[in-house]
Structure formats: structure tokens, C-alpha cells
Amino acid sequence: MQRTLLVMSLVLTQVIFAQDQVKISLDDVLARVQESNASIQVSDQEAKMAKYDYRFSNSVFLPQISVSHTGMATTNPLMAFGSKLNQGILTQADFNPALLNDPDQVENFATVVSVEQPLINMDGFYQRKAAKTTMEAKELQAMRTRDYLDFEAQKAYGQLQLAHRAVAVLQKAYEAANANLNMAQNSYDQGLLQKADLLEVKVRVTEVSGQLKTSKSNVQNASDYLAFLMNEQGNVVYEPSEELVPDNLDENMDISLENRADVKAMDLVSEAYKANMRADNMTFLPRLNAFASYEMYDDQIFQADAKGYIVGASLSWDVFKGSQRFAKAGKSKTNYEKAKQEYEQYVAKSTMELQRTKRMVEDAQSRLQTSKLAMEQSEESLRIRTNRFAEGLEKTTDLLMAEATYAEKQLAYYQTIFEYNQAQSLLTFLTKE
């Protein structure tokens, strides 16, 4: 059975690590995530869309210019007379009632250059302000997405470090368990050990083998997630180039949450709703627009023997449009009030998360020292019991318990390091301006 377990372990190791092994550092991970992550690219595109929405609002103060060339042939009395009048070719004979009522076919080609210039559109001004505020909010949200992916990449890298460390610990535990099995087998062959004790050692070897298999699967899972964050394809096993050790970050991280990108974005969203509310209220006011056109007419295509222009201004006022504007203004006001409440709730929740994370860091730091001492104590206990077992002075159950305890304390220590580092990374994320 011992030989079978050893063969299974070797086969498993070859399967897991026959894949491409890539050594990678945290800095490389962070750089590749920032460059290629799909969520970052999506948030950047959303920011660009908001930017183009803002550019679209330039129509509030920029003119609209159009050019058209139209050709037609007509025997319609009014159109025929008007076409000749525009072309400047009317003669005394054209006033003959018979020709007025039944004209010959007239060809008319018109080239028109028209300009429309908004002058006073108060609702448009506030809509432009809302578009600008929304654009700034999207840019801040894109920044916050990058910050979050930095935090997520650090977490994923820590999980990779922890998974590899667990493999190393359990590999040593597996080797120790096999060494103990050899000693137990020799003692059993010499009649110094009961079969039940030998079977207990074999069970321990099997348990460690299963744990080792699970830890190697965790390495692959962590590698897959890291590849997903970096938007990379391929069946790769990543190996961290940095050891899993406690990070020492700056403890002075007290800032005003209002300066954090996501909080500022929420505030700007509220301001955008406020601007939209004012824009809807401004639809009750009149609009003033200027217009002009330069027109050229001829009976030949792309000719211009007759010319004329029109210049004017238009003051329009939609006095009443049913109840549409009242309903729209009421809805926009409600949206603004809702956005304000969401902002206040978001700040309160963020403050709570920040305080909780600070306590998490303190608790993890306390557990870190305790778990380190526990690991050192279990290591010394295992050393003593192993020596005594080799001399036949220790029970098999006591040795197995000491061996299992040492592996457990090692894993607990590295798990605590991971939790401590993640708590500090989260604190950095929550306090980053």
C-alpha cells in the first residue's frame, strides 16, 4: 500500500507540474492586470462613451450647418411660377392667365446653405452640465475599478503564495509520514509493534496524500484565477517569485472618505441628477434661436444665376404640453432626492467598512504572533516525539498526533499571514484617494 501511495503521489505531481510552469512576481501581475484586464477595459469604454455624450451636448451653443442641392421638374402652377421667380427669369408673358393656370414644364435646381444658431436654451445648458458631471463620474469610476483590480490581483497573488506554501508543508508532512511508516513497518516486522498501530500510520499517510492532492488542485485554481485577471489564455501553473511573509504597510492611512474616487463619483452622480432636474424645470422657459440661409437657383444643374438669403431669429415657447413637463420635472426631482440618499448611504456604509477593516488588521496582527508561537511549539514537540519513537519510548498515536499538529499549525500560520496581508491590502484599497 505504501508503494501504491508513493506512485500515486508521483503521478499526481507529474500531472500537475507537467503543465507550463511560469514564475511571476507581484509587480508583473499588477502591471499585466492593469494593461489587459477585461473589467478595466469595459470601464474605460464606459468613460469614453460618457465623454462622447458630453461632446454631443456641444450642440447647445455650436451652430448647425447644412448644405443641400435639389433638382425638380414641375407643371404645378404655383411651383412653376415660384421656381421662375426664384430663378429671376419671369417676363411679362408669364403673367398671362392661360400660362399661369396651365404652365409648361419648369426645371429648377436649388443649392441651399443653412445655418441654425442656438442663442438661449436654458434647459440645454443644464443638460450639458449634467453630461459633463456624468463624464467626470465615469472617469472616477474607471479609476476606482483599476484600484479594485489592484486589490483583487494582490489577493489572488496571495492565494497563489498560500497554495504553494501549503503544497510545500504537506509535501514535507507526506515525506515524514512515509518515514514514520518505514519505522513502524520495521518495528512491526520485529514484533515490536501491533498491527493496529501500523494500520494507523498507513491511514495517516493516506490522509496526508489526500490533503496534498487537494493543495495541488488549489495551486491550479489560484493560477487559473490569476490568468483570468490578466486576461490570458492557456493551461499555466504560476509560481510566485516572492515568499509569503507579513507585509508592513503604512499605518497612517486616515483620510476623508469624500476624497475617495468612488465616493466622489457617487457625489457627482447626485450632481448630475440635480442638473437634469434643473434642465427639466427650464423647459417652461422660451427658447431663442437664430437662423440664416443662402439660396442659389437655376434651371441648369450646379448653376447659380439667381441668389438670395434669409436671416432671422425665432422665439418659441411651449406654453402647455398636457402634463408631460410637470410629470417629467417631478420624476427628475425624485431621482435627485434618491441619488442624494444613495450617496449618504454609500458614505455611511464605506465608513463602517473602513472601521471594520481596521479592526480586522489589528485582530490579524494579534493572531499572527500567536500562530507563529504555536507553530514553533508544535515543531519542537514533533522533534522530541520523533526521537523518542525511534527509540521505542513513544506511542504511535502520540507521534501521529504530533505530526498532524505540526502540519496543522504550519498551515494555520501561513493562513494567518495571508489574512493579515489581505486585511492590510483591503485597508489600503479603502483609504486610497
Tens place of pLDDT per residue across the chain (433 aa): 444 444 444 444 444 445 568 899 999 999 999 999 999 999 999 999 999 999 988 888 889 999 999 999 999 999 988 888 888 888 888 888 888 888 889 999 999 999 999 988 888 889 899 999 999 999 999 999 999 999 999 999 999 999 999 998 888 888 888 887 887 888 788 887 788 878 888 888 898 899 899 999 999 999 999 999 999 987 889 999 998 888 876 555 556 788 889 999 999 999 999 998 998 888 888 889 999 999 998 888 888 788 989 999 998 887 777 678 788 888 889 999 999 999 999 999 999 999 999 999 999 988 988 998 998 898 888 888 888 877 777 777 777 788 888 888 888 999 999 999 999 999 989 988 7
Residue 426: helix, strand or coil by DSSP? helix
Helix %, strand %, coil % of the chain (to 5)? 70, 15, 15
Residue type, 302: F
Rounded Cα gap, residues 157 and 238, in angstroms: 9
**H helix or E strand, kind and range, residue 163:** helix 122-189
Contacts of 336 (CB under 8 A, 6+ apart): 270, 273, 274, 276, 277
Rounded Cα gap, residues 111 and 296, in angstroms: 5
**H helix or E strand, kind and range, residue 68:** strand 64-74
Angle at 428 between CA 427 and CA 432, to 5 degrees: 120
pLDDT at 175: 85
> What would the grid cell of residue 269 be?
452622480
Residue type, 18: A
Q: At the topology level of CATH, where does 63-120+286-317 sit?
A: Outer membrane efflux proteins (OEP) (2.20.200)
Segments making up each domain of the chain, as ranges: 2-36+121-283+324-430, 63-120+286-317
> What would the grid cell of residue 163 be?
497554495
Contacts of 162 (CB under 8 A, 6+ apart): 222, 244, 414, 415, 417, 418
**H helix or E strand, kind and range, residue 381:** helix 324-390
Contacts of 87 (CB under 8 A, 6+ apart): 108, 297, 298, 299, 305, 306
Contacts of 27 (CB under 8 A, 6+ apart): none
* Residue-level length of the chain: 433
Q: What are phi and psi of 116, to 5 degrees?
A: -120, 125
pLDDT at 12: 45
pLDDT at 3: 45
β-strands 306-316, 106-120 pairing = unpaired
> What would the grid cell of residue 57 be?
451636448
CA–centroid distance for 95 within its chain: 75
pLDDT at 254: 59
Q: Is domain 2-36+121-283+324-430 given the CATH code 1.20.1600.10 in the classification?
A: yes
Return the C-alpha torsion angle 260, 262, 265, 266, nearest 10.
-110
- 148 neighbors 78 (Cβ within 8 angstroms): no
Residue 244: helix, strand or coil by DSSP? coil
User: Quick count: other Cβ atoms within 10 Å of Cβ 328?
Assistant: 17
